[in-house]
């Protein structure tokens, strides 16, 4: 490499650094330290290895790059701008501002070229494992001799904070288990976190040894601040390893180039300040009076680097057209999957193949869900997923499919092991990648372990399917540690998350269909452990009713109801039985099944009023969980039958009865609601 080329490389690296510190300083907010220290490794990767096309950010066979240490977002924005993505200098100047395309942490829905929304540390790392899994699965399904149409790498950049998060250990362990050789992580090891040196809390562990134990290949670069050649060799060596994921441990100096703050926590999460910015620019050979400066030679050099990806994209398109001529059906399926579309015959086949249950039969909704899921798996070949070592309990195994493994990459059953934290984020990563529709599963009470990933799925409109079983105190003898109480309410509070708690087998089948038809929101299917009866009317009404979130299951015998019984899940049967008793007493009751609050709330006002007439103020909610939030639907005259304390260890039927979930208690609640309405003049 010539001296001139070395100088140009250094100029490019320092341009990344100065753009980052200018963006942070201009916003008076942000994290300059990571971009300054990690710029060389990012440059070495993007300039000479990463295959991407700025004009086609969604090209299916591009390499993926995830900034797991998302607080260093100005590093990514500078890279995107310099490589020609739709990120302008004005966007860099709008860092962290209202409606900016350069928000504080990378957002996949806001900025072209951002592969994953990485806020909570470690989520992006786990996302990258999901991407690598999706690449492996799609390659096994679609590639044919001479046609490797799915063949790319996934890279992620992590910091010390990521390495401390437990989710990273879970994700890394699973990646090693499956020998994901096209997954490469770059670890910005700068020994500094926000509070000070990592010696405060992270000084004993040997990260490289931990990853070796996880089954990873390890590379080290001791001078990540300057050794561009060593960084390039490390990435090339990692790409040459095909049977293990690779970790490149890069020793860097946080805030490199800032004379008074480099190597300190002061460079981590605050602007450097005008004087320190000027001093850093002088150290880099830049004019302190200029901001957001990019020389023509730097622009040309980055454009030349991006051209590798443009050429690779053009070559791939030619390959795919030849592939289409040889394998027309596979090519069409690949395009459909990457567009996120369901098969054209989905609705027709659902009508005939989705299971139905007759009144008088019954099943736990987890069992009904398993049957529906397997029927849908035959219709939707991209439906894949698994559970946290619980398929025998959650009933989420695809019974006609094999388990995914390094030896069986075409398998559709994923064994995540007891790794709930990583499982949700890996599912999100598979959706970011595209081409697959993942589901993940565990007990409902352990949804807490998945919550950061669930929240990011909702934020990013990722249609992740979550199957959460053992949905109430009916779990029984396992006791309060395993009995969800507040979970329905807390998850319903999350925007853009559809929480669906079906009341019988037919509602469950339609809930699964709703989950697959959802393309802009994650769906949580909350299912029972105990057997539930199939209710009269659900076979005919559940299709539209579940799709609308709530519907009238049993109408009052009178012209208009005087009391509404609103129920979800296993408690729906109690409302139906209470209706019979109230009708026998001459009271006009209507039973409303409300499996999904969010979907019902999104319906037009006329439909909502037809289900819950505003003039009927006597209302009862029946749900084995906290009553918090039910006032929205039952109003000031209503009675909420629920559980506002933790559960107890005893047989499930006993626990339900002790907490008031009996037909008699529902009837009593209806009478109280009627009395309340009468007193208040309804």
pLDDT digits (tens, 9 = 90+) for 388-438: 999 999 999 999 999 999 999 999 999 999 999 999 999 999 999 999 999
Residue 393: inside a domain, yes or no?
yes
Lowest mean pLDDT across 421-435, 549-563, 590-604: 549-563
Given 533, 566, 592, the domain boundary residue is 533
Lowest mean pLDDT across 32-36, 415-419, 559-563: 559-563
- Mean pLDDT of all residues in 645-662: 97
pLDDT at site 5: 55
Dihedral sign from CA coordinates of 548, 553, 555, 556: negative
Residue 337: inside a domain, yes or no?
no
290 and 350 both lie in a single domain:
no
Given 258, 292, 312, the domain boundary residue is 312
pLDDT digits (tens, 9 = 90+) for 469-522: 999 999 999 999 999 999 999 999 999 999 999 999 999 999 999 999 999 999
CA 195 – CA 613 distance, rounded (Å)? 56
CA 170 – CA 181 distance, rounded (Å)? 17
CA 279 – CA 273 distance, rounded (Å)? 10
Nearest CA among 583, 592, 585, 582 for reference residue 554: 592
499 and 420 both lie in a single domain:
yes
Question: Does 4 have pLDDT greater than 50?
Answer: no
Q: Give 572's pLDDT tier (boundaries 50, 70, 90).
A: very high
pLDDT digits (tens, 9 = 90+) for 180-194: 999 999 999 999 999
CA 42 to chain centre: 25
**Above pLDDT 70, what percent of the chain?**
99
C-beta of residue 529 within 8 angstroms of C-beta of residue 475: yes
pLDDT at site 6: 56
Residue 603: inside a domain, yes or no?
yes
675 and 575 both lie in a single domain:
yes
- Mean pLDDT of all residues in 311-332: 98
308 and 417 both lie in a single domain:
no
Q: Give 669's pLDDT tier (boundaries 50, 70, 90).
A: very high
291 and 423 both lie in a single domain:
no
CA 333 – CA 351 distance, rounded (Å)? 22
Report the domain count for the chain: 3
- Mean pLDDT of all residues in 568-577: 98
Measuring CA to CA, how many Å separate 627 from each of 468, 508, 563?
20, 23, 19
Phi and psi at residue 566, to the nearest 5°: -110, 125
Phi-psi region of 321 (alpha: psi -120 to 50; beta: other; left: phi over 0): alpha
User: How many degrees, rounded to 5, is the angle at CA 134 between CA 451 and CA 500?
Assistant: 40
CA 679 – CA 682 distance, rounded (Å)? 8
591 and 502 both lie in a single domain:
no
14 and 114 both lie in a single domain:
yes
pLDDT at site 559: 78
631 and 486 both lie in a single domain:
no
Given 476, 508, 533, the domain boundary residue is 533
- Mean pLDDT of all residues in 292-296: 97
Phi-psi region of 508 (alpha: psi -120 to 50; beta: other; left: phi over 0): alpha
Question: Does 83 have pLDDT greater than 70?
Answer: yes
Give the position of tokens 């700068």: 190
523 and 578 both lie in a single domain:
no
Alpha helices in 186-295 (DSSP H): 207-213, 228-239, 274-284
506 and 550 both lie in a single domain:
no
Residue 513: inside a domain, yes or no?
yes
Strands 523-526 and 531-533: unpaired
Alpha helices in 84-215 (DSSP H): 89-93, 123-142, 160-164, 166-177, 207-213
511 and 601 both lie in a single domain:
no
C-beta of residue 601 within 8 angstroms of C-beta of residue 629: no
C-beta of residue 446 within 8 angstroms of C-beta of residue 147: no
420 belongs to the catalytic site: yes
Strands 362-364 and 531-533: antiparallel
Q: Give 558's pLDDT tier (boundaries 50, 70, 90).
A: confident
pLDDT at site 527: 98
57 and 203 both lie in a single domain:
yes
CA 548 – CA 544 distance, rounded (Å)? 6
Q: Give 557's pLDDT tier (boundaries 50, 70, 90).
A: confident
Residue 326: inside a domain, yes or no?
no
Expressed in angstroms, the distance from the first to the final Cα of the chain is 86
Domain CATH code at residue 294: 3.40.50.970
List the catalytic residue out of 165, 170, 420, 623. Answer: 420
C-beta of residue 160 within 8 angstroms of C-beta of residue 192: yes
Residue 97: inside a domain, yes or no?
yes
Domain CATH code at residue 629: 3.40.50.920
Domain with 638, as residue range(s), is: 546-679
Question: Does 567 have pLDDT greater than 90?
Answer: yes
Q: How many CB atoms lie within 10 A of CB 34?
A: 31
Question: Does 3 have pLDDT greater than 80?
Answer: no
Q: How many CB atoms lie within 10 A of CB 432?
A: 22
C-beta of residue 21 within 8 angstroms of C-beta of residue 31: no
């Amino acid at each position: 490499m010539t001296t001139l080329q070395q100088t140009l490389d250094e100029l490019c690296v320092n341009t990344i650094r100065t753009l980052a510190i200018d963006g942070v300083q201009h916003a008076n907010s942000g994290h300059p330290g990571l971009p300054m220290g990690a710029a060389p490794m990012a440059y070495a990767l993007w300039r000479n290895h990463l295959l991407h096309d700025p004009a086609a950010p969604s090209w299916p066979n591009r390499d993926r790059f995830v900034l797991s240490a998302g607080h260093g977002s100005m590093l990514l924005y500078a890279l995107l701008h310099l490589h020609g993505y739709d990120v302008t200098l004005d966007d860099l100047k709008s860092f962290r501002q209202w409606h900016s395309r350069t928000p504080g942490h990378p957002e996949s829905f806001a900025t072209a070229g951002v592969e994953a929304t990485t806020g909570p540390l470690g989520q992006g790392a786990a996302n990258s494992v999901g991407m690598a899994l999706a690449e492996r699965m799609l390659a096994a399904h679609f590639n044919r001799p001479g046609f490797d149409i799915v063949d790319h790498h996934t890279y992620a950049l992590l910091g010390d904070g990521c390495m401390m998060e437990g989710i990273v250990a879970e994700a890394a362990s699973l990646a090693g288990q499956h020998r994901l050789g096209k997954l490469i992580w770059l670890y910005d090891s700068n020994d500094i976190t926000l509070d000070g040196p990592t010696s405060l809390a992270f000084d004993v562990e040997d990260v490289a040894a931990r990853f070796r134990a996880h089954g990873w290949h390890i590379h080290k670069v001791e001078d990540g601040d300057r050794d561009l050649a060593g960084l390039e060799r490390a990435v090339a060596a990692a790409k040459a390893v095909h049977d293990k994921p690779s970790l490149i441990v890069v020793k860097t100096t946080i805030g490199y180039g800032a004379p008074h703050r480099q190597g300190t926590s002061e460079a981590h999460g605050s602007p450097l300040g005008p004087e320190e910015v000027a001093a850093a620019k002088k150290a880099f050979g830049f004019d302190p009076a200029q901001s957001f400066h990019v020389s023509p030679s730097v622009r040309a050099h980055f454009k030349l680097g991006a051209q590798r990806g443009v050429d690779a994209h053009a070559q791939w398109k030619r390959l795919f057209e030849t592939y289409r001529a040889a394998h027309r059906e596979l090519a069409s399926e690949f395009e459909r999957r990457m567009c996120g579309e369901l098969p054209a015959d989905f609705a027709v086949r659902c009508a005939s193949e989705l299971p139905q249950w007759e009144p008088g039969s019954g099943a736990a909704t987890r069992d009904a869900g398993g049957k529906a899921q397997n029927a849908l798996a035959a219709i939707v070949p991209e439906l894949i997923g698994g559970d946290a070592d619980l398929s025998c309990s959650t009933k989420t195994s695809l019974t006609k499919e094999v388990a995914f493994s390094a030896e069986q990459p075409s398998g559709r059953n994923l064994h995540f092991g007891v790794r709930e934290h990583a499982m949700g984020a890996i599912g999100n990563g598979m959706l970011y990648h595209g081409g697959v529709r993942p589901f993940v599963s565990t007990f409902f009470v352990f949804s807490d372990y998945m919550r950061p990933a669930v929240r990011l799925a909702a934020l990013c409109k990722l249609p992740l399917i979550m199957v959460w079983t053992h949905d109430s105190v009916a779990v029984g003898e396992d006791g309060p540690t395993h009995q969800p109480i507040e979970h329905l309410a807390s998850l319903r509070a999350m925007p853009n998350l559809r929480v669906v708690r079906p009341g019988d087998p037919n509602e469950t089948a339609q809930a699964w269909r709703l989950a697959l038809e959802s393309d802009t929101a994650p769906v949580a299917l909350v299912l029972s452990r105990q057997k539930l009866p199939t209710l009269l009317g659900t076979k005919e009404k559940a299709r539209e009713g579940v799709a609308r979130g709530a519907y009238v299951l049993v109408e009052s015998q009178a012209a208009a109801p005087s009391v509404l019984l609103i129920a979800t899940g296993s408690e729906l049967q109690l409302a139906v039985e209470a209706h019979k008793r109230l009708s026998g007493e001459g009271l006009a009751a209507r039973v409303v099944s409300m499996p999904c609050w969010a979907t019902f709330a999104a319906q037009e006002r006329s439909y909502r009023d037809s289900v819950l007439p505003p003039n009927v103020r006597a209302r009862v909610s029946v749900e084995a969980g906290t009553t918090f939030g039910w006032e929205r639907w039952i109003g000031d005259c209503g009675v909420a039958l629920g559980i506002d304390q933790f559960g107890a260890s005893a047989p499930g039927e006993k626990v339900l009865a002790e907490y008031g979930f009996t037909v008699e208690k529902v009837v009593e609640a209806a009478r109280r609601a009627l009395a309340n309405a009468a007193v208040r003049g309804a």
